[in-house]
Structure 1
Amino acid sequence: MAEQGAAAIPSQARSKQLRACLLCSIIQLPVDFRRNGCPNCEELMQMKGNSDRIATCTTTYFDGVISVIDPENSWVARWQRTSKYVRGLYAVRVKGRVPEDVEAELDNRGIKYRPRDQTDHD
């Protein structure tokens, strides 16, 4: 039997309740973003305990769902740019952009922001 992972998969959630992070595209329930923040980019997104920030940093508009179990060895995770992230459910594409302050912080750190709503991948 497969070992249970650290990432909680929202098994009984309806798709309309799920939200995808605009930066990393991980999919969670709003309560999980509020309780724990984003497991991949909380330092930048600062969603933990902040409903307004969750509303601006996540979206319900996303296409496709990928289950990433072994991020470092998954070719799909490399293709989706999620190979350095935690295991979990990820959107193939998300509609929207991160807030300006997050984009500015990425720029300050020398990180090029690439919105996750485009179909081209490097």
Structure 2
Amino acid sequence: MMDPRRSWAARWLRIGKFAPGCYALAVSETLSEDMQSLCQEERVQYIPPKRI
């Protein structure tokens, strides 16, 4: 989403104030330890997928 303020999808999802870029809505695999550490350092919330 390059312009969240003008995007109909951003308005529909109520994310018009998010920063431009790509967002993951869900992950299907557990991230590596390095990637989990990076998320933590950057204060990005990571919720591992549930195993069934």
Short-chain TM bin: 0.3 to 0.5
Give the structure-2-normalised TM-score.
Answer: 0.41
Give the structure-1-normalised TM-score.
Answer: 0.20
The structure where strand makes up a greater share of residues is 1
